Amino acid sequence: MKKLLAFLILAAVLSSTIIPIKAETNLAIYVCDGGNGDGTSPSSPVGTLEKVYELIFERSNVKNDPSASATIVICGKLNVADHFNYDGKISHKGEVTFTSAYGVNDFRISADARLVVHAASKEALSINDEHRFVLGGPTRFENLTLDRGGKTNAPLTIYASTSFFAGESFEVVNTNWNLNYIEPARALTASEIDSIVLSAHRGFQPEGPENTVLSFEAAGKHGFDYIETDVLMTEDGELVCIHDSTLDRTTNGSGRVHAMTYAEILQYRINTAAYGFDIPSTDPSKLYVPTFREYLEICKKYGAKPFIELKSVGKDVIKKTIDTALEYFAPEDIVISSSSLSLLQISYNLNRDIFCHLIWGDQTDAGYEKSIISLSEMTNSSGKVNAGIAFNIQGLSDPANFDRAKVWIDKAKAASLLTCLRAADDMSEIRKMFDLGIDYYPTNITSPEKLSKLGVEKKAEYTYTPSDGGKLFIRGGRRSESTSDDISITLLGGLFDFVAPSNAEAASSGNYSVTIGGNAFVSRLVMGETCNHGTNIESSSLIVTENATIKELYVAGDHAYTENVTIEIQGGRVEKLIHSRNKGGSAGNLKLILTATDLLPQNIDISHSNVITGQKTLLLYGETPSDTSAWDIVEIIPPETEPADETAPLPESAPAPDNKPSIDNTNKKTPFELSKRIIATVVLITVFMLVIIKIAISHQKRNRNVFYKKTYKKVKKGIDKSKKL
């Protein structure tokens, strides 16, 4: 029996190392405001995050075991109005996941679940500071909405002590930025692109000041269908091309056009500085207010049609304008435009075959209705409607604006009117205009050559605009104490004002690894140390991928020294790459890796030799950029070489994202790891049972032998007695 007991004790000890008796392997704690339960179900939630972590540490090995995990299920609204874990006492080595989707339940839908981290002001916090939310260890945010509350919020900083992962299913609302989603669009065919009719508004202004010989000639050379201008009459009866009724804004002179002779106007020159640019090699003799005839001659020379806007002018000016235009063009090739329906009516009565275009007019629903009716009555000599209307509806990426534009364009088309919108200056807007079916496209800056971009299939795009919500920062390290741990931050969703793998209060001297992907947005990202008593760092790396956006990316930290900085841009957009925030930090070697030429940051300023002291290397898959002067080493890999895969795995220090939102993420073990445990357990149990069977058999044999011996003795004793008798 002693041997049997010993074997049983040994088996129990061995099996306990594989199957923990106390710790729950699939631990989930439910939490929401007002909860006073045990956290085991949505109907029995706890009420605070502090209580959640208390239960996690009681019921699992997350505190000390890096392989352990637990899930915090936010099953309703959970308000955090004060600092969380400010002193850093909550600490764990295993991974904790925050989510509102668990099992078959998505509490974001059924209970408007969200984590509301909001303090009305710094003074409202128990410690008068910006709002601090300190994570205790490796943490994931999945299927979670973080609500920053209202515009009076104190800024919120989330601290990632070792690693932090925010999946694409992580959403931030009421923050300091708004996200606008631009849907993907198919590539237009060559014939569809050719069908787009462009009108150069006041000429092609990127290459010349408005309404000048320079801008008119530039429009003609670029092949615009129409060149638009504004016409006024001088005191001596000369028609001139100028937008304003005075010279003050566009020239270095002053005075009202109708009160000056053309000779007096010619004394002055176009003030190019007023347009925000200068034309260094321009013949100064062309910088004057041109006559209407000069404009018509340029249109005729380049095969462009005149698009003529009339402002507050009398019938005599209208008649002279039309008569002069008819000297150069047939009436069906001339457009007279105005924001005044009455001026268009005068033009129509003078010549029915000239196309009349209304610029917005009365910009109300009732006004648009009235304009459509009036314009539809303007028919040419063939009896066809010969008029069009522009609607002042912009921002078509907003579905509400797009839908409103579609309503009015459809109504205008039903009345046989041609249509346009203001203004075709952005490729995304032009693509939306094409989908709406407008007939002509007035533009300030889009040339016919640029339209070729519409022949490329457009991916989904995200744009960001400032808002008045609460600011959100992500910082690495431990707020209350220095650390030498490596820091990993992965953001695939969310809107952030500031991100850094270090913090301003305690030094983080390990290596840094940051990934910005999905549709995450970061206004400012600092790659180095931001603590003023920090120490030097060996390496800091960044991957930018998918549709992510970084507005300002700083190579060096605010303090200390980073020996090697590697930035790999596989997708998304980095708008500015800057050496530092000029606070004393520095970096050694910088390596920028790009998978395509068009991923090069729009603005690069890395020339400060006291900040970036080592080699600056550009490694590019694609064509050589036009300017490589900022780089010491430039390595160009031809386009035919296979570029880095945009879906390449993230750095080992960063958790790999799961493209499919995981609703039940309680068990972090892989199938292979589980199989190993199961096999080991089965083997141990089998050995244990064999040992017990063997002991039983041996025990049975021993008992049988004893029985036989006793029986033999009895029989022998009986035989001996018989012999004596």
> Which CA distances in Å does 300 have to 220, 225, 232, 266, 305?
9, 11, 20, 24, 7
**Is there a single domain that holds both residue 449 and residue 478?**
no
pLDDT bin (cut points 50, 70, 90) of residue 6 is: very low
Does some domain include residue 721?
Answer: no
| 206 shares a domain with 87 | no
Asked if the structure places residue 720 within a domain, the reply is no
Q: Which of 429, 458, 487 is the last residue of a domain?
A: 458
The answer to whether residue 294 sits within a structural domain is yes
The reply to whether 502 and 645 lie within a common domain is yes
Q: Is 315 helix (H, G, I), strand (E, B) or coil?
A: helix
Question: Is residue 722 in a domain?
Answer: no
* Same domain, yes or no: 487 and 445: no
> What six digits make up the tokens of 198?
């462009």
Calculate Rg over the CA atoms of the chain: 38
pLDDT at 292: 98
| Model confidence pLDDT, tens digit, residues 109-135 | 999 999 999 998 889 999 988 999 999
Least confident of 556-565, 603-612, 623-632: 623-632
Question: Residues 556, 628: one domain?
Answer: yes
Domain count, the chain: 3
pLDDT class of 702 with cuts at 50, 70, 90:
low
Specify the pLDDT at position 714. Answer: 46
Report the alpha-carbon distance of residue 575 to residue 578 in Å, rounded: 10
More confident residue, 418 or 681: 418
Helix (H, G, I), strand (E, B) or coil at 95: strand
Position 187 pLDDT exceeds 70: yes
> Does some domain include residue 70?
yes
Higher pLDDT, 383 or 277: 383
Q: What is the mean pLDDT of residues 17-29?
A: 61
Range of the domain at 684: 1-21+676-714
Same domain, 307 and 449: yes
- Measured CA to CA, the distance from residue 74 to residue 379 in angstroms comes to 65
3-state secondary structure 452-472: HHHHCCECCEEEEEECCCECE
Give the residue from 458, 476, 509 where a domain finishes: 458
**How many CB atoms are located within 10 Å of the residue 332 CB?**
14
Q: Which pLDDT belongs to residue 617?
A: 97
The share of the chain scoring above pLDDT 70, in percent, equals 83
576 forms beta bridges with 552, 603
User: CA–CA separation, 378 vs 343, rounded Å?
Assistant: 13
With contact defined as beta carbons under 8 Å apart, do 574 and 604 qualify?
A: no
Mean pLDDT value across the chain:
87
Catalytic residue among 92, 201, 222, 559: 201
What pLDDT does 682 receive?
53
Angle ∠(236,266,239) on CA atoms, nearest 5 = 40
In a domain, 725, yes or no: no
Predicted pLDDT of residue 681: 56
243 has catalytic annotation: yes
* Cα–Cα distance list, 707 to 4, 32, 712 (Å): 22, 70, 8
- Catalytic: 533? no
Give the pLDDT confidence score for residue 683 in this predicted structure: 52
DSSP state of 502: S
Residue 275 has pLDDT above 80, yes or no: no
For 594, counting Cβ atoms within 10 Å of its Cβ (0-12 exposed, 13-18 middle, 19+ buried), the class is buried
- The answer on 709 and 649 residing in a single domain is no
Whether residue 508 sits in one domain with residue 453: no
Q: Residue 649's pLDDT band (boundaries 50, 70, 90)? A: very low
CA dist., res. 56 & res. 507, Å (int): 29
Q: Tell how many helices (H) and how many strands (E) occur in the chain.
A: 13, 37
Q: What is the average pLDDT across 678-698? A: 56
Q: How confident is the model at residue 461 (pLDDT cuts 50, 70, 90)?
A: confident
d(C-alpha 27, C-alpha 405), whole Å: 52
**Which pLDDT score is estimated for 698?**
56
Instruction: Let me know whether 554 and 503 are in one domain.
Output: yes
Tell me the pLDDT tens digit for each residue of 29-43.
999 999 999 999 999
- Left if phi > 0, otherwise alpha if psi is -120 to 50, otherwise beta: which for 695? alpha
How would residue 640 be classed by pLDDT, with cut points 50, 70 and 90?
low
Tokens representing residue 7 in the block: 């074997």
- Predicted confidence at residue 515, as pLDDT, reads 98
Kind of pairing, strands 156-160 and 472-476? parallel
For residue 88, the model assigns a pLDDT of 95
* Same structural domain, 474 and 416: no
Q: Is 55 a member of any domain?
A: yes
Q: Say whether both 41 and 97 belong to one domain.
A: yes
Percent of the chain at pLDDT above 90? Answer: 72
- Domain's final residue, options 458, 485, 518: 458
Which pLDDT value is given to residue 602? 87
Residue at 650 is within a domain: yes
Q: How far apart are CA 69 and CA 62, in angstroms?
A: 6
- Confirm if 538 and 509 have CB atoms less than 8 A apart: no
Residue 207 pLDDT exceeds 60: yes
Residue-by-residue DSSP string for 381-417: TTS-B-EEEEE----TTSHHHHHHHHHHHHHHHHTT-
The answer on pLDDT for 662 being more than 80 is no
Residue 74 has pLDDT above 90, yes or no: yes
Q: Does 692 share its domain with 654?
A: no
